[in-house]
Amino acid sequence: MFRMQGEEDRGNGTGRGTAVITRTKPKIKKPSLYRVLILNDDYTPMEFVVHILERFFQKDRESATRIMLHVHNHGVGECGVYTYEVAETKVTQVMDFARQHQHPLQCVMEKK
């Protein structure tokens, strides 16, 4: 027979006592988030940037075009916000894809 702390043993097995069970809630720290940014250059075609945004960031045509124009007009544009590992992967994918197609496009990440 198992007894809980505070339970009395009166020899007849019917001892009743009180016990306090505490449950501590684990403190979960949210992961840091990182912005993935595309930088403007004078050589990468606008249509290629739109394609990048659709392919690697799952943007629809309208959103991709809006982001591309923001990059073109302001020098930089945000593609999305991700955890470190996801952001790092996306930057690498974009940079590799741009190099394969011989474009100097730059993609970076920064802590939000």
Could you list the beta-strand ranges (E) of 1-112: 33-39, 76-83, 106-111
Q: Give the span between the Cα atoms of 100 and 94, in whole angstroms.
A: 10
Q: Give mean pLDDT, residues 36-53.
A: 97
Residue type, 86: V
pLDDT at 24: 80
pLDDT at 23: 78
Distances, alpha carbon 52 to alpha carbons 10, 107, 110, in Å: 76, 11, 19
Contacts of 43 (CB under 8 A, 6+ apart): 103, 104
Q: Give the span between the Cα atoms of 49 and 39, in whole angstroms.
A: 10
pLDDT at 110: 98
Q: How confident is the model at residue 96 (pLDDT cuts 50, 70, 90)?
A: very high
pTM of the model: 0.76
The phi-psi region of residue 57 (left if phi > 0; otherwise alpha if psi is between -120 and 50; otherwise beta) is: alpha
pLDDT at 20: 78
pLDDT at 12: 54
> What is the overall mean pLDDT for the chain?
89
Top-ranked range on mean pLDDT: pick from 1-15, 21-35, 66-80: 66-80
Element (H, E) at 42: none
Q: Give mean pLDDT, residues 53-80.
A: 98
